[in-house]
Structures are given as C-alpha cells and as structure tokens.
C-alpha cells in the first residue's frame, strides 16, 4: 500500500514538472500595456492684442446726385423712352410733350378771335376817318383787340401754338424714378423723371439702430460688389459722408451714406448691392487665432497645455475679425493655447509641440 502511494506521488511530481517546463519554454509572453497616445500640436501664448471692431452690412447703390426733370408748359406726354434703371447720355431725348388738345383748340379759337378783333379795329379807324364812327367806338375796338391778343399769348405760353417739345437729358445719368406714363396730361413744372448722375454714386448702408451711436461721418468703410463667386471683386476703401437719424420704414434700419468718387464709381452701378464692412473702432483684449477656438454643444472652448497635457478651458467669444478672436475666460496667461491640431484633442490628452 505504501508503495502505491509512493508511485502516485512520483507521477504527480513528474506531471507538475512537465507543466512547469512547458510554461517556461512554450507559452507566449503576456502583451505589454499599450502606451497612451500623444498628439502633435502647435501652440502659442495668449496675449493682449488690438483687434478691429467692425460692423458687417449690406448697401444699395444709387445715383449720387438726383434731379427732377419737367416740362415748362402743360401738355400731354406722347412718348416716354426710358424706364427706371435706364442709363442715358447727355442730349438724349427722354420724353416728348405735345400741346394739350383742349389748349390747342382754345389757342386756335384765340387766333381767330385776335384776327377778328384786329380787323374790326382797322375798320372802325377807317369809319372814324370818314366821320362815320366816334373815337370811343375806335377805342373800344382797340381794347377788344388787345384783350384778344393777351388771351392768345397766354395760350401760346401753355404750348397751344407750338408743336411737340422734347425733354433733353442735361448730363450722362441713370433714371431713378418715373412719375408719368405715356398719354398723361401734365402741368407746367410737374416732375416727369427723377434722374441721377451716372459718374457719381452713393451707397445707402443699413445698420441696426442700436449701432447708430458707434458710427459717424468719416468712419472707414470697405465695400465689395455683390457678385458671383467666380468674379474677383476688388474692395473699395472710403469714408462715410453721412449718418442719417431716421429709421427707414421699409427696412427698419438706419441708413449711412458712402459717396463713391468718380475714379471708382465705374465698379458699381445703380441698383446693385454691395457688402460693407464699417470699422467702428478697435478693442484691446486677449485675442487668439481664429482656429484656436472650438465650439460644441457645451459652448466655446480652447485647449491650453499644462505639464504636457491638453486642458479644455471654456471661453466666450467677444469679437471676431476673421483672423483673430477676442475671448474671455483665459485665467492663466502663461499656459500656451493650442492653435493647430486641436480638433483631435480630448481633455487630459498628452501633447507635444510640432517641430518647427
């Protein structure tokens, strides 16, 4: 019996030895723990900078100096050769006026009456010479003749005795408003057309009433024509010439006016739209490159680097000029802000600076 136990113990020892040997020589080594990822970034220290404070707006291009055109006498508009927006050259016929039919008829009757009164006066003078009429009769005939001539002259001033009258353009320009249609009867001096000079334009730029106090005459403004994306539109730099005080009832905005000098007026045309950027001042505050500020459902934030790790810092954007963003929320100005590579970062991730 003791012998059997001995053999069993020997077998057990042998099996354990084989198992230990297989573990030492045949089993694969346990994998090493994976190292934490390290992101490569670029960063820079936050600093106080001066950033332009701009207002973005849209403007309407209009003729710079407008004038009302009219006929000096009453009549009927028999032709109208322009509509709103048409350009014209100096000397062009814009409309044509014919005498009013009633006035023309009255003028013809006045011509006949004046001729009859003159003949009667001549006849009475002959009778006076033959002692067949008295001087008082001759004087009455002369007065009747003068009255008839006065009535005829008044009708001639109304155009009764003339043909058609052209309305000639006094300068190169563009039509901004038309007050009549062909066939209308008009009075002397009544406005027919509103026209503006084509070589001098103005842009009406609408701003919010709350921004009125920030804008003044002389404020720098940059304009771009609103054109297709394929067109390389050049900016136009100038200063505001006027800031209006009343709110436009159509747009509910306050208009500020930029007059375009003749040298650049050719880049725009009445009726066009223009993008405007008004520089209303500068802000001196903590500013970082635009790409440094990220936004998610929690709000705006940046990453600052502390001890080789990215730390998320909540910020609020105060001003964005397209290149720099003024932010509030940076508490440690000695920690650099990540400006490139921040889209891949998570809070607490290890980072290293990219080689220059």
Give which of 234, 230, 213 is closest to 280, Cα–Cα: 213
Q: Residue 198 above 60 pLDDT?
A: yes
Residue 335: per-residue pLDDT: 95
Of the listed ranges 128-137, 227-236, 336-345, the least confidently predicted one is 227-236
- Give the strand pairing for 47-63 and 201-207: antiparallel
Residue 112 and residue 167 in one domain = no
Of the listed ranges 22-26, 208-212, 342-346, the least confidently predicted one is 22-26
H runs (alpha helix) in 220-329: 262-265
Residue 116 and residue 210 in one domain = no
**Which residue would you say has higher pLDDT here, 74 or 231?**
74
**Which residue would you say has higher pLDDT here, 162 or 127?**
127
Query: Would you say residue 345 lies in a domain?
Result: yes
CATH number, domain at 275?
Answer: 2.40.30.170
| Across 254-281, average pLDDT | 81
Give which of 353, 349, 291, 298 is closest to 325, Cα–Cα: 291
Between CA 306 and CA 345 the distance in angstroms is 14
**Which residue would you say has higher pLDDT here, 289 or 50?**
289
Residue 259 and residue 313 in one domain = no
Q: Residue 281 above 70 pLDDT?
A: yes
Residue 292 and residue 210 in one domain = no
Contacts (Cβ under 8 Å, ≥6 apart) of 294: 300, 301, 302, 303, 342, 343
CATH number, domain at 84?
Answer: 2.40.50.100
Query: Would you say residue 6 lies in a domain?
Result: no
Residue 77 and residue 175 in one domain = yes
CATH number, domain at 313?
Answer: 2.40.420.20
Between CA 45 and CA 334 the distance in angstroms is 7
Share the mean pLDDT of the chain.
81
Q: How many domains does the chain have?
A: 4
Residue 278 and residue 288 in one domain = no
Q: Residue 279 above 90 pLDDT?
A: no
Residue 178 and residue 78 in one domain = yes
Residue 86 and residue 189 in one domain = yes
DSSP 355: P
Query: Would you say residue 250 lies in a domain?
Result: yes
**Domain assignment of residue 342, given as a range:** 39-51+284-353
| Across 294-311, average pLDDT | 94
Instruction: With 0.85 as the threshold, say if the pTM is over it.
Output: no
| Across 330-340, average pLDDT | 94
Buried b (16+ CB within 10 A) or exposed e, 21-31: eeeeeeeeeee
Q: Grade residue 174 by pLDDT with cuts at 50, 70 and 90.
A: confident
**Which residue would you say has higher pLDDT here, 24 or 182?**
182
Phi, psi of 138 (to 5 degrees): -65, -40
Calculate the alpha carbon distances from 179 to 69, 155, 175, 194 in Å: 10, 25, 11, 8
303 in Cβ contact with 338 (< 8 Å):
yes
| Domain termination residue (choose one: 252, 282, 312) | 282
Calculate the alpha carbon distances from 195 to 85, 86, 93 in Å: 9, 10, 13
Residue 12: per-residue pLDDT: 46
CATH number, domain at 105?
Answer: 1.10.287
Residue 275 and residue 205 in one domain = yes
Residue 278 and residue 294 in one domain = no
| Domain termination residue (choose one: 262, 282, 302) | 282
| Across 208-228, average pLDDT | 86
Residue 176 and residue 205 in one domain = no
- Give the 3-state secondary structure of residue 160: coil
Q: Grade residue 152 by pLDDT with cuts at 50, 70 and 90.
A: confident
What is the C-alpha R_g of the chain? 46
Give which of 298, 351, 295 is closest to 320, Cα–Cα: 295
Residue 35: per-residue pLDDT: 67
Of the listed ranges 86-95, 155-164, 207-216, 283-292, the least confidently predicted one is 155-164
What confidence tens digit (pLDDT) does each residue in 105-142 have? 777 787 888 888 888 888 888 888 888 888 888 888 88
Helix (H) or strand (E) segment spanning residue 142 = helix 135-157
């Amino acid at each position: 019996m003791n012998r059997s136990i001995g053999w069993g113990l020997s077998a057990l020892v042998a099996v354990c030895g084989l198992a230990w040997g297989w573990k030492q020589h045949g089993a694969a080594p346990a994998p090493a723990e994976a190292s934490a990822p390290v992101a490569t970034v670029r960063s820079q220290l936050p600093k106080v900078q001066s950033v332009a404070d701009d207002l973005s707006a849209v403007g309407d291009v209009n003729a710079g100096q407008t004038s009302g055109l009219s006929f000096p006498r009453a009549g009927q508009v028999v032709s109208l050769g322009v509509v709103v927006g048409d350009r014209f050259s100096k000397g062009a016929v814009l409309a044509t006026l014919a005498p009013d039919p009633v006035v023309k008829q009255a003028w013809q009757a006045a011509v006949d009456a004046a001729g009859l009164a003159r003949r009667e006066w001549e006849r009475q003078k002959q009778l006076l010479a033959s002692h067949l009429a008295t001087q008082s009769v001759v004087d009455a005939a002369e007065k009747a003749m003068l009255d008839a001539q006065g009535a005829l002259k008044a009708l001639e001033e109304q155009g009764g005795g003339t043909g058609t009258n052209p309305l000639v353009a006094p300068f190169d320009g563009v039509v901004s408003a038309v007050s009549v249609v062909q066939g209308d009867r008009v009075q002397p001096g009544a406005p027919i057309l509103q026209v503006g000079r084509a070589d001098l334009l103005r842009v009406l730029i609408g701003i919010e009433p709350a921004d009125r106090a920030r804008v003044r005459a002389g404020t720098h403004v940059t304009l771009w024509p609103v054109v297709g994306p394929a067109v390389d539109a050049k900016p136009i730099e100038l200063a505001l010439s006027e800031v209006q005080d009343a709110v436009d009832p159509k747009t509910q905005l306050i208009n500020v006016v930029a007059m375009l000098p003749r040298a650049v007026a050719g880049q725009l045309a009445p009726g066009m739209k223009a993008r405007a950027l008004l520089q209303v001042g500068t802000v001196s505050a903590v500013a970082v490159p635009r790409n440094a500020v990220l936004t998610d459902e929690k709000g705006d934030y940046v990453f600052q680097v502390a001890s080789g790790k990215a730390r998320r810092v909540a910020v609020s954007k105060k001003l964005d000029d397209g290149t720099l963003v003024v932010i509030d929320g940076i508490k440690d100005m000695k920690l650099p802000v990540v400006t490139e590579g921040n889209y891949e970062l998570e809070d607490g991730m290890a980072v290293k600076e990219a080689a220059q």
